[in-house]
Amino acid sequence: MKKHCTNTNIFASSHEYVCREICRHMRLIKLPSHAMLIRQGDTGDRCYIIIDGTLDVFIRQDAAFQGFSDQAETMYRLAPASLNVGKFMTALTPGSIVGEVVLTNPSVRRTATVVVSKDTAECCVIFLGRVDYIRLIRNVSMEASHFVQAEILDFMVLFQKWPKPEKMKYVAQMKSVHFRANDYLYKSGTTTKVMYIIVLGEALEKYNLNAVHTSGGQVATKSEVKINIELLLLGPGEIANEFAFFKPSMVGHFDIKAVTDVHALAIDKHLYEAMMTPTEYAQDLQAKLTSMSNDRDDWRKERIEFGSRYPDAHIAMTWNLMRMGNLRCSRCGRRGHLPSDLGRCHHSKKNDWPSVQQRLEKQLNPPPPQRTTRTSDSPRVKRRSIHSNIMARDLHRDTLDESSLPTAKEQLAVSWRLRLLVFPKHVEATAQEEPPTAPHTT
């Protein structure tokens, strides 16, 4: 049934979980040969998908033919031989859909008569009613953004061994949350309740350290200095707040702050315990989470030690600096690269990642509606998002290698040429002031 739903034009572009919900609301009926499924001129509230058998479509051009709209469409009767159904138009085979217009327009009348073919002993069709369709669309529109975010799990090494039904089962129980830039995902010293799967955006772990600074001189004075140490950058497809989540006290000592707008899926303690079943894929998830948490903790200790030893050297955390941590990639699970390095990542679906990011960006951060402007108005400046720039860079990263980078000599020549363009007189004056070198005599 699901196969036939995905093959139809009206449901072909729908997500897998949408087709599954549609199949749950559909019902199967069996019709004998010459049974009339739809009569021209009637009003109805069902659309049909052929499972087995053949249906013939007839259209009568006579406008006086109105049918019997007062009879219920659920009463499928044999078409009498004396009934003029019109001219034969086409035959519908398994997988075809008929009557889908009435789902969105209740006042429309049937424009053709559909009868089970005489060569078919029994025809099997499934139907979807308008009431179920409207209820389904309402629920899907509310949950669409939630299940679109679930696609991120297909690119996470933590859920690499999880079957699709199990992932969708627990994703339905995760809470979709949104943080604006500079909002806190977690404040240090507070009891945490959830950990997050970042779907879109970036977050930063920061540690606030109070150090005692001793100033020299005849009389030594001590003063307390507050140091902000940036520990980790977290991007799409990564776990956040796992440190405090797994501690017995569930209290962490560092903040997690949103750098950009962050969309995430929240996993509470009760849901995590329900996910940790004795199955092999659940144990694999737990082992990978423990290993990832230990690696991150080692990197945090290095950053805190460096920050406390050199309090005046504030180093902003960047993705290039994150490479020094040698942490495992959140997609393929290997070391030596970041998840954004598509050229080095070994994930089987790494080439699909830019399209998924674009779909998430479109679904979770839709552009504001454009207002009508006059021709005299100044044109708007088109702004590109951070994620589109990152994806454009990642698309071309596969074609780049060390040989394509300019050498030091070429970079020096380019810098000198640019300086000539910006400061031509200053460069000429500098060249004239240099004394000529005396010829070397022996």
Q: What is the pLDDT of residues 106-117, one digit of tens each?
A: 888 888 889 999
Q: Are residues 203 and 241 in the same domain?
A: yes
Contact 47, 131 (CB under 8 A): no
Is 438 domain-assigned?
A: no
Q: Are residues 132 and 224 in the same domain?
A: no
Is 356 domain-assigned?
A: no
pLDDT (tens digit per residue) in 297-356: 999 999 988 888 887 778 888 888 888 888 999 989 899 888 888 888 888 888 888 888
Q: How many domains does the chain have?
A: 2
| DSSP state for residue 260 in the 8-state scheme | S
Q: Are residues 318 and 216 in the same domain?
A: yes
pLDDT band at 156 (very low <50, low <70, confident <90, very high): very high
Give me the sign of the Cα torsion angle 355, 359, 361, 367: positive
pLDDT (tens digit per residue) in 230-254: 999 999 999 999 998 998 889 999 9
Element (H, E) at 208: strand 203-215
Q: Which amino acid, 371?
A: R
Whole-angstrom distance, CA of residue 422 vs CA of residue 290: 55
Residues 6+ apart with CB under 8 A from 399: none
Is 162 domain-assigned?
A: yes
Domain finish residue from 299, 325, 351: 325
The alpha carbon of residue 209 and the mean position of all alpha carbons in its chain are separated, in whole angstroms, by: 36
| DSSP state for residue 247 in the 8-state scheme | S
**Sheet (strand 194-200) strand order:** 175-179, 262-268, 194-200, 239-240
With a cut of 60, say whether residue 377 has pLDDT above it. Answer: no
Q: Are residues 289 and 196 in the same domain?
A: yes
Across 276-300, average pLDDT: 93
Among 12-21, 143-152, 340-349, 427-436, whose mean pLDDT is lowest? 427-436
Q: What is the pTM of this model?
A: 0.56
b/e for 273-307, b at 16 or more Cβ within 10 A? eebeeeeeebebbeebbeebbeebeebbeebbeeb
Whole-angstrom distance, CA of residue 56 vs CA of residue 79: 12
Q: The domain containing residue 292 runs over which residues?
A: 156-325
CATH number of the domain bearing residue 305: 2.60.120.10
With a cut of 50, say whether residue 69 has pLDDT above it. Answer: no
Whole-angstrom distance, CA of residue 286 vs CA of residue 273: 11
Across 187-210, average pLDDT: 91
Percent of the chain whose predicted confidence (pLDDT) is above 70: 72
Q: Tell me, what's the pLDDT at 183?
A: 94
Q: Tell me, what's the pLDDT at 375?
A: 46
Among 183-187, 194-198, 331-335, whose mean pLDDT is lowest? 331-335
Whole-angstrom distance, CA of residue 121 vs CA of residue 88: 19
